[in-house]
Structure 1
Amino acid sequence: MVREYHYVNSPKTWAGAQTFCREVYTDLATVESKEENIRLLLETQEPGKLAWIGLYDDTKSWMWTMGDGKFDRENSFFRWERNEPNNIGGKQSCVVMNWVGFWRDEICETDRPFVCFDEQGPSKYILVDTFMTWDVARNYCLSKYTDLVTVRNLTENEKIHPMLARNVWIGLRRNFWTNWSDESLATFKNWYESQPDNSGSTPASCAAVDTTTGTWWDVHCDTELEFICEKLIPLRRRFKLRLQSETDLNDPVIQQQILEQLHDKLETDGLSDFKLRWNQNEGQTFHKEPKKKTHG
């Protein structure tokens, strides 16, 4: 599929833009490469503006390191401090527990002590007083015990926090800016140098493109901006086949049989959602190659 971008100069919230794009085109714009970002910028109509694209930060996408990892903020146990998690500065994606048992998000590169879970040991909860970043702490727990600790209920929380004298890492974290509106995984990014920064009193968790520079900014999702939609167009490719056969390859029956064999082969190789047809030149699909001259 090829993405065709369409600029819409009717300001809407990010959610309103998403709804419009899904109704009229395919979705809000996804950008997966530098080349696509250049094409996107060519569709903008006025410089000096911000326009929604389909990238967003799912601020509820917390995952535990152990088990199935699922953390449903509506139904799972949690013990957040008041006004947490808040992702200050747009860089907080790992979780600590404090000495009274409440949680907060912090920058994962901060050095903290941590609690490991030991599935086999007599004591399930192991406090490690050495200060490490979240990733290093997790690797330590994986090498020595089972993993960083998972806290599934109040009983477990009450067993852990009396051990603590300060904030410690637990096994809860999330990844930033990983999804596009069309459910593509975000691999390419083109943030302005200070972005994303999550400035303001509410999470700035939707992305917009600067129509002058093509760089991206994080913006509060309820802001009304112009936006860019995408329409997915099937990619057409032309292949040349060289066949050796005594049969008449321009016979429609023979051509249909070849198409069916090619179709089965491509499906076996994992391709889907494609169509095959013959292209004709001078009224024929197949042409005999001229015989090569021999030199004697």
Structure 2
Amino acid sequence: MYTVDQETPDAHTDGIWAVAWASGANMVITGSVDESIHCWHASTGDLIRSLPGHVLGVTSVTTDAAGTVALSAGLDGQLFRWDLATGQSLQRWQTEPAQTWGVTLAPDGQGFATGGEGGIVRLWSVASDTPVQEVKASPSFAMAVAYSPNGKYLACGTKAGNVDVFDIESGKLLHSLSGHATVVRTVAFSPDSTRLYSGSDDHRVQVYDARHGNLIAAFSGHSSWVLSVAIHPDGDQIATASGDHTVKLWSTRMRQCTETLSHHQDHVWDVAFNDQGNHLVSVSEDRSLRWYRAL
């Protein structure tokens, strides 16, 4: 069970679309349609600094495993790599608008993947100014991308409703999973890389065997789009954020909802656990950042 720890009602001046927990820096990172990225002290909730650079809304933020480096993507087609200790931009990449809707860092922190227009997923190296590889997902917008923690797989959720899984080493498509009826907005792997979770505008969360591609379970309970799925570090629990203004907690063993958090007043765009799983944050179109702690 989780309870409200604190709230930041006007964390940004417009809707907040992305949040990531950077445990190594003891920060929570938020990205907003107001074009800004804010870094918050994870213990006090105080604003530490803002990261300038994007000139259109920020669609995605992610951090490395150590929680010391962040990567952001925006509607302006820019990608930034940030040193969270100093707030300085380490690198900047410019792509065409809509090419970098979602971004995910590789487990080793030396590469990342982006998804966007045309269903093209681009793989990048921090040592290169251009993509090192491109893989074609379904012929549709690539809404979300995620690496498996073991570094073997890359998943992509598409506007067409498919979830495509690629082998990182070969770049080959392993599975094209068609269990959703419409847009897939979020994908995430379990900590042991054996399970793949996807959330869709069909209000459902699907659970797949990451290696073989078969459907294991489906979670239903939201009354609107599922916009984000976050996996608890122990893998026994997930959190989902939805257009129905709620965050739901689910038991992956019992395959049922265990708790509903109804503190936002608009779409909840993203949700994230800290690395111990005893804290949770969520962000919303209502411009608020909500902080929760486990009881």
* TM-score interval (norm. to shorter): under 0.3
Q: Between Structure 1 and Structure 2, whose CA radius of gyration is higher?
A: 1
TM-score (normalised: structure 1): 0.25
More helix by share: 1
TM-score (normalised: structure 2): 0.25
